[in-house]
Amino acid sequence: MRQIASITQIPGIKAANYTNAEAGTGCTVIICPEGATGAVDVRGGAPATRETDLLRPEETVQILNAVVLSGGSAYGLAASCGVAEELERHGIGLDVGVGVVPIVSGACVFDLACGAPDVRPTAENGAEATRKALANEGEPLERGCVGAGTGCTVGKLGGPELTMKSGLGEDVECAGELVCGAVSAVNACGDVVDPETGKPIAAMRTPDGKGLGNTVEALLAMQAKMPLSRTNTTISCVVTNAKLTKAQATKVAQMSADAYAHAIRPTHSTNDGDTIFVMATGKVDAPVDIVGALATRALERAIADGAKSATSMFGLPAASDLK
Amino acid sequence: MRQIASITQIPGIKAANYTNAEAGTGCTVIICPEGATGAVDVRGGAPATRETDLLRPEETVQILNAVVLSGGSAYGLAASCGVAEELERHGIGLDVGVGVVPIVSGACVFDLACGAPDVRPTAENGAEATRKALANEGEPLERGCVGAGTGCTVGKLGGPELTMKSGLGEDVECAGELVCGAVSAVNACGDVVDPETGKPIAAMRTPDGKGLGNTVEALLAMQAKMPLSRTNTTISCVVTNAKLTKAQATKVAQMSADAYAHAIRPTHSTNDGDTIFVMATGKVDAPVDIVGALATRALERAIADGAKSATSMFGLPAASDLK
């Protein structure tokens, strides 16, 4: 089985981050210049997204040029505008006769409470990440507190004192010729757990701040509404070389949502705007269920990686600090 | 914390099974004579359902009188017709001036490959379960190879030789005054695992038939489409005393789908018509996220119980046989 270290090594895929470590925000751009088959699954209660309606199987457009994962809450959708403009400069997009219209879908995490709340990814930041991605010839994507993961945190139910730093995670899995990779900006209210064993990796800390607590138990004992200020969202992009229709890619996106359940507890809450995009480059025939199972594995491991690869920032410890 | 052994002890809820052990099929009826707030989440690729459209938050009808979980594949929807007719005889349903129309939602499992394929739950079987349920004054619901669980099997990817018997599971959880119960007919293609630790309870067996294998690994190694003859489906009903709007109940149903990911691997495949109903009796104020977390816990434990409480039938061993 071949080794693929990053989604940037999947033929047809380019990716890079823009990171503003000082302000605690950034964005991650995943580009398919030739146009992937796209799909999305929005399962969280508080999403911030753009260009998700055209991904529905019954709608006309059949390509997706880029997925933008961004910090900055709904303001961060501006980064996608800059990605579209930069792709236009490179002649990448849907040919509409008088030019091209790049198809750019995006989703945001709420990272305003981490770092500077008034600094969000801009169109120029999106354009910068796009230029970096297009120039990337297979260099692995950076992971940790970078890109859309820069301001990500988890285990937020107990307030900022017990929150932990998380970040951007990635994983690539192969089964024969089939490749499924995933990138995830892990910004859940809940705890990140090992998807195989359920053991916590990064979680709401115990009251002394030194151990890993349990958000589900805390929530059930709380008898109160989750504060909106602790808004969350884990946003991800699955990239595969599978040949899928839009309808099949949609089913794969839906199946991949199980990765959230495997690696985050609880997930899909009313304050989690959990969203998963799929980009399929159409090179390898594979049954939908196998693509779904492999994508789920890649995504659950990417989520775990987002917690494991983070480092402490803004006074918030990361999983690597509590070892 | 009070002890509630079964959903039949939740005020306003009645439930019972019809079981045809010889033919390997049956149905489970959960009734709220006063009308619960209803919702549904259909996340599987091959559902067989009725009266799910009216459960959408924007549609008019605000009550749900019964949920019918049935064997018999799509033929088993007939049981729901008998439930409706029996409820009419008791004057239970939506008052439409000239009489009542009982609101009965239903979903089916594919159990035709277990026992007699040409015997399916009929309208009369549904009516019989309804009479039994209405006469039930808190007797716990039977579990195991009964009702909709009579013909349920799991771990089916390796064919009948490696399949295991599963059944109908139940669990009730409390958090203060809030109660969430769940009933599940566990008929997955995948393996049932402990929702806390991921360890298998009932699964595709190892080639010698004596141990528990791993369906995800087998699927990823298979490189072929899942045969349609191994059609599956886990169908469930969450019952809670929470006060929820239809929209809130829908979110709870969606959150509860994470229970499938916690307890079944893989789940939500193209051959799994996974469906979850919610019935909320509206007695206790509780935040949606807490109801969702408690419902998820009840449902994942009900799924595990469906595997644990089954006994061997038709030559298929159950979890209790492999200990």
- The edge-to-edge listing of strands for the beta sheet with B264-265 is B200-202, B191-193, B264-265
Residues B147 and B26: beta-carbon distance below 8 Å: yes
Radius of gyration in angstroms for the set of CA atoms belonging to chain B, rounded to a whole number: 18
Does pLDDT of B90 surpass 60?
yes
Task: Kindly give the interhelix angle for B78-89 and B123-135, rounded to the nearest 10 degrees.
Answer: 50
Predicted confidence at residue A230, as pLDDT, reads 64
**B266/A287 CB distance under 8 A:** no
Cβ-based contacts under 8 A for chains A and B: 103
Both tokens of residue A58? 């019954």
The secondary structure of residue A181, as a DSSP letter, is E
Give the Cα separation of B137 and B114 in Å (integer): 32
Cα four-point dihedral sign B159, B164, B170, B174:
negative
User: Is residue A218 a contact partner of residue A226, using CB atoms and an 8 Å limit?
Assistant: no
Are the beta carbons of B293 and A220 closer than 8 angstroms? yes
State residue B322's pLDDT score: 80
- Residue range B29-51: mean pLDDT, rounded: 95
- Rounded CA gap, B43 and B144, in Å? 24
What 8-state DSSP symbol labels residue B138?
S
Cβ–Cβ under 8 Å, residues B262 and A191: no
Indicate if the pLDDT at residue B221 is higher than 80: yes
Residue B251 CA to residue B254 CA, distance in Å, equals 5
Sign of CA dihedral B214, B41, B230, A252: negative
CA distance B296 to B298: 6
Rounded average pLDDT over A100-106: 96
- pLDDT for the residue numbered A228: 62
Confidence of residue B230 (pLDDT cuts 50, 70, 90): low
CA angle A32, A34, A36 (to 5 degrees): 55
| Residues B226 and B269 sit within 8 Å (Cβ to Cβ) | yes
A254 touches chain B (CB under 8 A): yes
pLDDT at B271: 86
Give the tens place of pLDDT for each residue, B168-200: 999 999 999 999 999 999 999 999 999 999 999
Distance from CA of A287 to the nearest CA of B (A): 5
Residues 6+ apart with CB under 8 A from B255: A266, A268, A269, B289, B292, B293, B295, B296
**Average pLDDT over every residue of B217-229:** 78
- The pLDDT value recorded for residue A44 is 86
Residue A229 confidence (pLDDT): 62
Of the two residues B322 and B240, the one the predictor is more confident about is B240
- Closest residue of A to B296, CA-based? A266
Statement: residue A7 has pLDDT above 70:
yes
Distance from the first to the final alpha carbon of chain A? 32
ipTM, 2 dp = 0.87
Q: Determine the Cα–Cα distance for residues A67 and B124; give it in Å rounded to an integer.
A: 53
Helix (H) or strand (E) holding A300: helix A288-308
For residues B29 and B129, is the Cβ–Cβ distance under 8 A? yes
Per-residue pLDDT of B149-158, as tens digits, reads: 999 999 999 8
Of A220, A254, A290, the CB nearest to B290: A220
Quick one: angle between helices B288-308 and B246-263, nearest 10?
40
Confidence band, pLDDT 50/70/90 cuts, at residue A120:
very high
User: B58: Cβ–Cβ under 8 A, 6 or more apart, which residues?
Assistant: none
Q: Which of A45, A198, A261 sits opposite B196 (nearest CB)?
A: A198
Instruction: Identify the H or E element spanning A128.
Output: helix A123-135
| pLDDT at B1 (0 to 100) | 44
Nearest CA in chain B to A174: B220
Encode pLDDT of A269-309 as tens digits.
988 889 999 999 999 999 999 999 999 999 999 999 999 99
Contacts of B220 in chain A (CB under 8 A): 175, 290, 293-294, 297
Q: State phi, psi for B15 to the nearest 5 degrees.
A: -155, 150
Asked if B261's CB is within 8 angstroms of A43's CB, the reply is no
What pLDDT, on the 0 to 100 scale, is given for residue A163? 95
Which pLDDT band, with edges at 50, 70 and 90, does B323 fall under? low
Is it the case that residue B2 has pLDDT exceeding 70? no
Asked if residue A192 has pLDDT above 50, the reply is yes
Q: What is the pLDDT of residue B287?
A: 95
pLDDT of residue B232: 86
| A222, pLDDT greater than 90 | no
Q: How confident is the model at residue B3 (pLDDT cuts 50, 70, 90)?
A: confident
Q: In whole angstroms, what is the distance from residue A264 CA to residue A257 CA?
A: 11
Tens-digit pLDDT profile for residues A61-80: 999 999 999 999 999 999 99
Contact between B266 and B217 (Cβ < 8 Å) = no
Give the pLDDT confidence score for residue A64 in this predicted structure: 98
- Interatomic CA distance for residues B259 and B234, integer angstroms: 11
How many Å is the maximal CA-CA distance in chain A?
Answer: 63
Query: DSSP of B268-283, one letter per residue?
Result: S-TTB--EEEEEEEEE
Instruction: Tell me the domain boundaries of chain B.
Output: 7-321
Please give the Cα distance from A28 to A20 (Å, whole number). Answer: 12
Residue B213 scores a pLDDT above 70 = yes
Predicted structure pTM score: 0.92
Tokens of A32: 């398919």
Residue in this structure with the two tokens 């990064």, named with its chain if needed: A202
Residue range B124-145: mean pLDDT, rounded: 97
**pLDDT tens digits along B4-15:** 999 999 999 999
Closest Cα of chain B to A164: distance in Å? 21
Judge residue A61's burial from the number of C-beta atoms within 10 Å of its C-beta, 0-12 exposed, 13-18 middle, 19 or more buried: middle
Preceding amide of B195 cis, omega within 30: no
Asked if residue A1 has pLDDT above 50, the reply is no
Of the residues B268, B285, B296, B303, the best mutation for testing chain A's interface (the one with the most A CB atoms within 10 Å of its CB) is B268
Please name every residue paired with A170 in a beta bridge, in sequence order, or none if there are none: A183
Cis peptide before A266 (omega within 30 of 0): yes
Pick from A198, A254, A270: CB nearest B251: A270
Mean pLDDT of chain B: 94
How far, in Å, CA of A163 to CA of A88, rounded? Answer: 40
Residue A135 has pLDDT above 70, yes or no: yes
CB atoms within 10 A of CB A297: 23
Mutate to test the interface with A, among B254, B258, B299, B300 (most CBs of A within 10 A): B258
Instruction: Indicate the average pLDDT of chain A.
Output: 94
**Which residues contact residue A314 at a Cβ distance below 8 angstroms, ignoring those fewer than 6 apart?**
A24, A114, A115, A165
pLDDT of residue B228: 62
Tell the CATH superfamily of the A7-321 domain.
Answer: L-amino peptidase D-ALA esterase/amidase (3.60.70.12)
Lowest mean pLDDT among B92-96, B141-145, B151-155, B225-229: B225-229
Q: Residues 6 or more apart from B173 whose CB is under 8 A from it? A: B179, B180, B181, B294, B297, B298, B301
